[in-house]
Structure 1
Amino acid sequence: MKFHLAFLLMGFTFTITQAIMVRELMVAFLGNELSIGLVLGCWLILEALGSIAMARFLLRFSSPLLYPSLQVLLALALPLSLLLAFSIRTILGVVPGQGLNLWAISLASFFILLPIGIIDGAMFTAASETFARYTGKGIPAIGQVYVLEAMGGIAGGILFTYLFSSLPSFRTVLVIVALNLISALSLSTGVGKKAWPLIIAILLVDLAFLSPGLEGALERFATGIQWRGYDLAFYGNSVYGNVAIVRLGEQYTLFSNGIPIITAPFPDLNFVQDLAHIPLLFVREPKRCLIVSGGAGGLIRELLKYPWERIDYAEIDPLLLKALRALRIPLAEEELGNPVVHVYYVDGRLLVREKALERNPPTYNLIIVNLPYPSTLQLNRFYTREFFSLARRILDKDGVLVLMAPGSLTYLSPAMRDLNFSLYSTLKETFPYVFAIPGDGVNLWLTSWGVNFEEIGVEELVKRAGERLLQDTIVQERYIRLRFEPARLSWFKGELAVSKSPPNTDLKPLGLLYGLSFWNEMFAPAFGKYFDLLSRLRFWHLASFILILTSILGLLIGLGKLKAPGIMPLVVASTGFGGMCYDLAIIFAFQIFYGYIYREIALLVAAFMAGLSLGGWFMSRRAEEGNEWNKIMAIEGGLVALWLSFPLLLLTIYRWGGAASTPLLLLLNALGGFMVGMEFPLASKVYSQGRKLSQAAGIMYGADLLGAFLGSVVFSVGLLPPLGLTGSCWIVALLKAGSFGLVILSVIRRENARQM
């Protein structure tokens, strides 16, 4: 029984650990969800290295203390890796708000995960050897360990999502450390009592840090390193991400996943006055306003200079507002306490969606989206055609929607130009009237379905400003004439005319691509060129490559140069590639639709792993029944069909799933895992014919792992940004169709050879 619990604990431990590390590294990398693929890819490589190293070690040495020793090593490595995740920005000398390029993200992830990733792979191999010796069952014992680990992973995913995700990361890790040390004590009973004093000493230290007196000490130490040189006034996690507030004198800056969102009580006065008053020059009677993020800290104060009936306000992360109120910043209290202001503690896009789908939707004269440019999927959700369509439903006919993009009055770089033009083309698909006001650092984009901005002359705007007596603002006659100077507007239009960037949508987040390209253009020029090339990538480029590669392999099969069993590593590699892409596609889709993958990451990964293990178990029990080649063909065909229908299934769940959306996505992810898992036992059986079992198993495992690693990296930073979810799914479908065709060709060649 103690072995069963230990192997359940192994799956439980690594599912939760993986979720915690992904979360903390996302914060370190400014909430960039594409880093999830890079982190998982590093984990896969390290897991493989650990498994291989342990397999070789077991050829020379075996001991019943091996597995509990690895549990102790894990107990020591977990807090260290987590501390490195908190400290990586300080180690690299990166200031708050500054991102990292892809190379730095990959290297940082690899070295942070190095100890726990290797131990993860080593523990499974050691557990299989230990359990095989304990039960005397040999190979079947390995399958039991696999199932037990998967069951523990499922439990870990559920508990992390609904219990541990709200706790500080170090507290969760210390609980896991305690459980592993207790398990190590249990497993070493009778054979390793000499190690008990060391294990008990480590356990007592761990429990001390969980005690009321020292509880939170490690978290405070780690956040102190993470924000070294800054006075950290608030630090917390929500389902949407991490919120931190730093204080400099009397000034507060609020960060959401490392990105600065709000400054108070002394905001950038020129910016907030420009954002509040310039769009209102086009609104005749301000009555109702909706602010999506960045309202507190000055913007609401400027808006309250008008006779509003109601101002509704939501943030990208509701915890930002709760933190502001907890700190009792005078300006924020004044703004949020005004009876005209109604605060909604929900995600801004969710609020817009809820109001737009009401039977009688409320309408607003002004909607302000005060967010940074789309450098993450979470931010990109507020710059897509789907969001603008929702916003139009609640925008008054003579109302104005305003949002921002990076700008310059002297030179628009290629990425800045593409980002602005993509925003323009996206708005133009939803609204008849779109108007840009170029600025030095920030461009204001105004849009409406009833206000023709260009028909309202500067003289009329100056007149309206005078009537509103905006004496204590920068919006005076001279400033208005400067902002709407014809030569400046004409120059900006001419610059944008060069770009042909397409609209930005939920399932094809080109805004994210251009946002990342713009960031790299400024801070990492070498990667700026990569993203520039990526923006030129088209579906037919990759489709042509896959077709050519498949044709070459098909020719080799037809000529007899590639025998039927020999294609199995390629088939498994393509399935591993597709499986990882499938899992990431669900994760990214969840973030696009709902915005809080920060909490659900463990549950989604656990659902895929559950399907994977169940599929492997199911097919292992039926591997001897019927013709394995026919089964492989059926699975390959099913995978192609699944990938082709995948985008439609995602959209259907999002539009009609309602409260059942999350369970449906979990089921969809489990289904993908099940189909991927079914293929490996069959392909391994076919490939092992005429080969040593150990050699065949090693090659097939390596092919599967290599495919999954490539899938995690390529999908995150090569497919999703330029092709979107739909195009990426079709590319993987085409890849699997090629694999399917090669299997069919191999079967035909095999049958012809038999008849000769």
Structure 2
Amino acid sequence: VVIATGVSSVVTQLYIIREFLVQYTGNEFVIALILFNWLVIGGLGSLLARFITPRYGKATILRLGILSLCLSGLAPITILSIRYLRDFFFIHGASIGFYPTFWYIFLLIAPYGLLLGFLLPYSLYVLRHDQEDYPPSRIYIADNLGDVAGGALFSFLLVYLLTPVQAICIAGLPIILTVAPFFRENFRNGILYCSIAGGALAILIGGVLLESDSLKPQIGDLVHYSESRYGRIEVHQNEDLVTLFSDGVPVFNNQNETTAEEVIHYPLSQTENLQHVLMISATGGMIRELKKYNLSAIDYVELDPEVSAVLFRFKLLEPIRGLSVINEDGRSYLMKTQKKYDAIIVNLPEPDTFQINRFYTDRFFELVKARLNPHGVFSFSMDGYDNYLAEPQRQKLSSLFNTVSAYFTEVLLLPGQKIIFICTDSTIHRDIPALLTSKGIKTDYISQYFYGNVTGFRTDQLNRLMDLKTEINYDHSPRLMHLMFTQWFAKFSTSPFWFLGAVFLILVVYLSRLHVEEYVLFSSGCMTMGCELMIVFAFQIYFGYIYHQIGLIITVFLAGLLPGAWLGEKLRRNARAVLVWTDILLICLMIVFITFCLRLGDKLPVLFYLGTGFLFSVLCGCQFPVALEPHNNVKKSVAGAFSADLTGAALGALITSVFLIPYYGITGAAIGLILLKVSSLILVGRKQHG
């Protein structure tokens, strides 16, 4: 049952992350809040098991079976609640601030998370009722075995074959089957099993039947829905407007002529003898505008082949002479190709995630420059503004300006619905309508409205506002993520410091009550989750397409806990020495990881990151059974150990994602985690010599 619960819980967790990413446009801060809430709630569930079970009757196998069946039914309810209740709590289509997001996530995953956290220590209490000396590490190993199986099932099978609710239902079936023997004591229990299991099955089947309805938009019709290895693809149609959504973000529509003209003609008007153009992503109408230049070759890079297929199917893109669709990550393509282009146009959303931010860093601009012909032009865009440029947005634009200016002698920002960056080593001519007329290219928006909207005064004012002192946006120190985070809070006139202050106070009280061994597990949980997120972000920076890889990364981390727990079980007689040496090895491994990451970065193979994650989890997994050894009260220590491990992981998720990496980069995050482990090492050393 513990293994079946592990399988179901990991699959459910991954799809819950998926659903919230779709609801909140893939923001990493949302990932951090999901993981933080998930782990804190799980820790609270473990504490509830510690306090409730001894006070309200013995733990029985029948109660374990009932609770496990309830857990299997809660999974699809949680997923469907995320979809249905967003528009109930919030205005449809409106962006949501930090604190409403936090409480919304907390409330929706609380029932499932509390019950899941409760079940693991409760399972041990049930086993100890019949066998008092049952080793707690066996429960830990069984749980990890289920977690690994669930992660592998998600990564290699479910994500390719099934929709989210279908996958969760399949993963929940083993729980229903494995608890059946718990009810065989008498006929009455058999009737009870049939009733509860039947209810759970009805919920699972009902969830599958409701899935299509849960995706329907409030406005218009859902005319296409599919799940690819890279994300969710939806096409909405409202009368003549057809819009493609990727992971909840509208990325294409068939009525966006103004943006298409700006994005294409502003940069391409600057070049002569234009033959080869590279587009990294696109929007509706861009291909039609490119057609006016009679180009020899247009390379259109789109990561997901299903997205490009849907675009052509719904005529959001039209096939033209010379157009080649390249289904590959844009940054990876630039690293591998040797082709030279006369123009490179990046048409991506705002860099509010690490995955998108990697297309706006110094390393990416260096790659672009290497793939341009001597007089080529590079262009990208940011959201525009009306009359007043807010300070967070000014700093964001300034960081981009300073970063790209290191590689191009001429950089001009043009105001409009979008702020267009034109970057080249040649002279930039501002009279774009005149340039287009000389080339014989006709436009609708630019020819009529350019002189009124993009005046010389507005253009000069925008470019003068660039702050040359703003920090450059590096791969390893994503300045833009810090600025986007600041802009998010400024938009809602809130601050993260109230939240962080409350977390700090609660943490101080909690840590003051921990044993040394529990603090070791707390710091290990924090370091493991922090390292896991650092590897996730490294994947996003260097390889992109994180949704396809996140299941694999989590599976590798979980897989390392299993041999680690087995090793710790063998070594627990030398508990103190093992805790000291595993702490030392964790610190050394983090130093090695960050050194290689900073020096070689995208030249390292995927196996390096996965292997590092595996070693981290082996060392942390080794500490769990060892940390239990010094306690006399095993029941208390198990619940306390589970709680300390989960609480540490929750803090690692929050601090690493929201504070350390955005403000101090990957190096700062590594130093922070190393200092935490040093404190653990000092405490263990003091107790050993005390």
Deviates more, 1:642-651 or 1:44-53: 642-651
Matches within 5 A, 1:536-551: none
Matches within 5 A, 1:558-597: 567-597=516-546
Match of 1:646 in 2: 593
- Please tell me whether residue 471 in structure 1 is matched to residue 471 in structure 2: no
Separation in 1 of the partners of 2:174 and 2:330? Answer: 39
Match of 1:539 in 2: none
Match of 1:81 in 2: 78
Q: How many residues align?
A: 677
Amino acid paired to 1:516: F
Match of 1:417 in 2: 394
Match of 1:451 in 2: 426
1:473-512 Cα shifts (integer Å, max 9, x gaps): 3334983596361x33332233213x63211122222222
CA, structure 1 residues 316+377, in 2 after alignment: closer, same or farther (shift >3 Å)?
A: farther
Pick from 715, 721, 726 the counterpart of residue 662 of structure 2: 721
Deviation at 1:63, TM superposition (A): 2.5
CA, structure 1 residues 11+507, in 2 after alignment: closer, same or farther (shift >3 Å)?
A: same
Pick from 364, 369, 372 the counterpart of residue 349 of structure 2: 372
Provide the identity percentage: 25
Separation in 2 of the partners of 1:102 and 1:207? Answer: 32
Is this contact kept in 1: 2:98–2:489, CA < 8 A? no
Separation in 1 of the partners of 2:286 and 2:555? Answer: 42
Match of 2:381 in 1: 404
CA, structure 1 residues 684+74, in 2 after alignment: closer, same or farther (shift >3 Å)?
A: closer
Match of 1:113 in 2: 109
Deviation at 1:8, TM superposition (A): 2.0
1:561-619 Cα shifts (integer Å, max 9, x gaps): x99x9644444433322222112212222222222222332332232223234323312
- Please tell me whether residue 271 in structure 1 is matched to residue 255 in structure 2: no
1:526-552 Cα shifts (integer Å, max 9, x gaps): 14x869x99xxxxxxxxxx9xxx9xxx
- Please tell me whether residue 256 in structure 1 is matched to residue 246 in structure 2: yes
- Please tell me whether residue 127 in structure 1 is matched to residue 123 in structure 2: yes
Tell me, what secondary structure is at the counterpart of 1:236? strand
Pick from 309, 323, 326 the counterpart of residue 341 of structure 1: 323
Separation in 2 of the partners of 1:311 and 1:638? Answer: 51
Deviation at 1:221, TM superposition (A): 2.1
Match of 1:501 in 2: 470
Pick from 651, 668, 671 the counterpart of residue 730 of structure 1: 671
Is this contact kept in 2: 1:28–1:88, CA < 8 A? no
Pick from 20, 36, 39 the counterpart of residue 31 of structure 2: 36
Is this contact kept in 2: 1:253–1:262, CA < 8 A? yes
Separation in 2 of the partners of 1:30 and 1:571? Answer: 36
1:216-273 Cα shifts (integer Å, max 9, x gaps): 522112213xx23332222222222222221110111222222221111x22x22211
CA, structure 1 residues 390+88, in 2 after alignment: closer, same or farther (shift >3 Å)?
A: farther
CA, structure 1 residues 207+263, in 2 after alignment: closer, same or farther (shift >3 Å)?
A: closer
Match of 2:333 in 1: 351
Separation in 2 of the partners of 1:747 and 1:71? Answer: 41
Pick from 610, 616, 622 the counterpart of residue 565 of structure 2: 616
Tell me, what secondary structure is at the counterpart of 2:573? coil
Match of 2:481 in 1: 512
Deviation at 1:57, TM superposition (A): 3.9
Deviation at 1:739, TM superposition (A): 3.6
Is this contact kept in 1: 2:47–2:643, CA < 8 A? no
Separation in 2 of the partners of 1:452 and 1:741? Answer: 61
Pick from 175, 178, 181 the counterpart of residue 173 of structure 2: 178
Deviation at 1:684, TM superposition (A): 4.2
Tell me, what secondary structure is at the counterpart of 2:215? helix
Tell me, what secondary structure is at the counterpart of 2:465? helix
Is this contact kept in 1: 2:121–2:639, CA < 8 A? no
Match of 1:636 in 2: 583
Separation in 1 of the partners of 2:293 and 2:237? Answer: 31
Amino acid paired to 2:583: E
CA, structure 1 residues 202+649, in 2 after alignment: closer, same or farther (shift >3 Å)?
A: farther
Pick from 223, 233, 238 the counterpart of residue 243 of structure 1: 233
- Name the structure, 1 or 2, with higher relative contact order (CA <8 Å, separation 6+): 2
Is this contact kept in 2: 1:88–1:108, CA < 8 A? no
Pick from 45, 65, 69 the counterpart of residue 66 of structure 2: 69
Separation in 1 of the partners of 2:518 and 2:200? Answer: 44
CA, structure 1 residues 463+206, in 2 after alignment: closer, same or farther (shift >3 Å)?
A: closer
CA, structure 1 residues 317+422, in 2 after alignment: closer, same or farther (shift >3 Å)?
A: farther
Gaps of 5+ in 2: none
Separation in 1 of the partners of 2:547 and 2:635? Answer: 40
Separation in 2 of the partners of 1:572 and 1:203? Answer: 35
Match of 1:362 in 2: 339
Is this contact kept in 2: 1:26–1:32, CA < 8 A? yes
Tell me, what secondary structure is at the counterpart of 1:16? helix
Amino acid paired to 2:623: E
Separation in 2 of the partners of 1:171 and 1:653? Answer: 41
Is this contact kept in 2: 1:381–1:387, CA < 8 A? yes
Match of 1:162 in 2: 156
Match of 1:670 in 2: 614
CA, structure 1 residues 103+613, in 2 after alignment: closer, same or farther (shift >3 Å)?
A: farther
1:113-151 Cα shifts (integer Å, max 9, x gaps): 1121122122212322333445x36332x3222212211
Is this contact kept in 1: 2:261–2:443, CA < 8 A? no
Is this contact kept in 1: 2:341–2:371, CA < 8 A? yes
Tell me, what secondary structure is at the counterpart of 1:496? coil
Tell me, what secondary structure is at the counterpart of 1:396? strand
Match of 1:194 in 2: 191
Amino acid paired to 1:194: I
Separation in 1 of the partners of 2:642 and 2:375? Answer: 62
1:19-52 Cα shifts (integer Å, max 9, x gaps): 1111111111111122222112211222222223
Is this contact kept in 2: 1:381–1:592, CA < 8 A? yes
Pick from 470, 475, 490 the counterpart of residue 460 of structure 2: 490
Match of 1:557 in 2: none
CA, structure 1 residues 169+182, in 2 after alignment: closer, same or farther (shift >3 Å)?
A: same
Deviation at 1:657, TM superposition (A): 4.0
Is this contact kept in 1: 2:518–2:640, CA < 8 A? yes
Deviation at 1:679, TM superposition (A): 2.9
Match of 1:17 in 2: 12
Deviation at 1:513, TM superposition (A): 2.3
Deviation at 1:344, TM superposition (A): 1.7
Deviation at 1:88, TM superposition (A): 3.5
Separation in 2 of the partners of 1:253 and 1:700? Answer: 50
Separation in 1 of the partners of 2:367 and 2:526? Answer: 35
Deviates more, 1:488-497 or 1:79-88: 488-497
Separation in 2 of the partners of 1:572 and 1:467? Answer: 70
Separation in 1 of the partners of 2:627 and 2:36? Answer: 23
Separation in 1 of the partners of 2:452 and 2:215? Answer: 47
